[in-house]
C-alpha cells in the first residue's frame, strides 16, 4: 500500500530519514511531538516535496510516477490545506465530481447534514471544527484505497471526534484492502483505532510496535529508590527519576507483575510512552 525506505529530506535545521510501511487492511498511526517530522513525512508521501534520498512507494508506484489515476485513490486531510473560503459546499460539488470519478455525492451530502455543515454557507464562515469535519467527510467520500490523514480530529470536540473515529472504522470494514495512515497528538484516538504505531522524533522513527503489544505488554513501573536498586533492569527500556523514586518503561509487563509484586505496575498509554521514550534515560 505504502512503503517508505530511508526517505530523506534535509532542511536548514531539520533532517528527515524515515522508513515505514502501511499494509492493506491496516490502520497505521504516527505520533511524535510538534516538529518531529510527521507532516514532512506525509508531504513526502504525496510528492509535495522533492526527496533528497530514499524511496517512497504509494499504491505500488514510486511517488514521482504517481498520476491522476493514483491520486484519485488517495483520501487526504492535511493540516494547512483546504478549500477556498469563498466557496460553499454546493460550489465544491462540480469540482469534486470532476476530480474524483468515484465521488459519492449523496453519501457526502448526507454526512454533511449529519454533522450540521450548511451547504450554502461560505466555508470561511465555518468554525475550525466544522472546516476540519468537512475535510474528513470529503476524504471518505470517494472510495479512496489509501487514506492519509494529518491530525484529522484536530479542533473537534469529544463527541464529534468519537463519531469521526467510528466513521473511520466503518470505512475500513466496508471494503477489504483499504488502508489508513493517521497522525494525531491525541493518543486516545490512536490507541483504539490503529493496528500499529510509529513514533517519530527528530525526523527519525524511534519506535514501531503493534498497538496490541503496546497496550498489552508495555507498562510503567513505579518504585522507590530501594526497590530500584534491587530490581532486574534487563527489561527496562527507559527510566526517569521521580520525587518518589523512579519510574521505568518496560515491554515485559508480565515479568514484573510475576516477580515483583510490591512494585506498582501501571497500564501504559501512548502518552506515557511518548514522554518516557523522549524524556526518559536509557539504562
Partner 1 sequence: MKIIINHSSMQPIYEQIAGQMKAQILKGELLEDTALPSVRMLAKEQRVSALTVKKAYDTLEAEGFITTVHGKGSFVARTNQQMRLEERRKEVENAFELAIQKGKSCGMSREELLDVFQMILEEM
Enumerate binding residues for partner 1 (CB under 8 A).
25-27, 165-166, 169-170, 172-173, 192-196, 210-212, 215-217, 253, 257, 261, 265, 267
The CB-of-31 to partner 1 minimum distance in angstroms stands at: 15
The CB-of-283 to partner 1 minimum distance in angstroms stands at: 24
Helix 105-114 with 89-99: angle, nearest 10 deg: 150
* Cα–Cα dist 21/157, whole Å: 30
Question: Toward partner 1, which CB reaches closer, 70 or 195?
Answer: 195
Question: Toward partner 1, which CB reaches closer, 148 or 165?
Answer: 165
Question: Toward partner 1, which CB reaches closer, 60 or 261?
Answer: 261
The CB-of-1 to partner 1 minimum distance in angstroms stands at: 14
The CB-of-265 to partner 1 minimum distance in angstroms stands at: 7
Residue 58 β-bridge partners: 2, 61
The CB-of-179 to partner 1 minimum distance in angstroms stands at: 11
Question: Toward partner 1, which CB reaches closer, 27 or 249?
Answer: 27
Question: Toward partner 1, which CB reaches closer, 185 or 253?
Answer: 253
Amino acid at each position: 500500500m505504502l512503503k517508505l525506505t530511508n526517505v530523506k529530506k534535509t532542511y536548514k535545521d531539520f533532517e528527515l530519514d524515515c522508513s515505514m510501511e502501511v499494509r492493506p487492511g491496516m490502520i497505521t498511526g504516527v505520533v511524535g511531538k510538534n516538529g518531529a517530522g510527521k507532516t514532512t513525512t506525509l508531504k513526502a508521501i504525496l510528492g509535495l516535496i522533492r526527496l533528497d534520498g530514499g524511496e517512497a512507494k504509494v499504491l505500488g508506484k514510486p511517488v514521482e510516477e504517481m498520476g491522476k489515476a493514483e491520486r484519485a485513490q488517495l483520501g487526504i486531510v492535511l493540516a494547512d490545506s483546504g478549500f477556498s473560503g469563498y466557496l460553499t459546499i454546493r460550489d465544491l460539488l462540480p469540482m469534486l465530481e470532476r476530480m474524483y470519478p468515484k465521488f459519492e455525492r449523496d453519501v457526502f451530502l448526507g454526512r454533511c447534514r449529519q454533522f450540521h455543515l450548511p451547504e450554502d454557507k461560505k466555508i470561511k464562515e465555518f468554525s475550525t471544527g466544522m472546516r476540519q469535519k468537512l475535510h474528513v467527510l470529503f476524504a471518505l467520500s470517494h472510495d479512496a484505497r489509501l487514506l492519509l490523514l494529518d491530525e484529522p480530529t484536530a479542533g473537534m470536540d469529544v463527541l464529534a471526534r468519537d463519531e469521526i473515529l467510528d466513521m473511520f472504522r466503518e470505512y475500513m470494514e466496508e471494503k477489504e484492502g483499504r488502508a489508513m495512515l493517521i497522525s494525531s497528538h491525541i493518543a486516545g484516538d490512536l490507541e483504539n483505532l490503529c493496528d500499529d504505531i510509529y513514533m517519530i522524533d527528530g525526523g527519525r522513527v524511534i519506535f514501531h510496535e503493534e498497538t496490541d503489544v503496546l497496550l498489552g505488554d508495555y507498562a510503567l513501573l513505579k518504585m522507590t529508590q530501594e526497590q530500584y536498586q534491587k530490581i532486574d533492569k534487563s527489561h527496562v527500556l527507559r527510566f526517569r527519576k521521580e520525587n518518589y523514586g523512579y519510574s521505568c518503561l518496560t515491554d515485559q509487563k508480565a515479568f514484573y507483575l510475576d516477580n515483583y509484586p510490591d512494585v506498582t505496575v501501571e497500564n501504559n498509554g501512548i502518552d506515557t510512552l511518548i514522554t518516557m521514550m523522549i524524556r526518559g534515560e536509557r539504562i
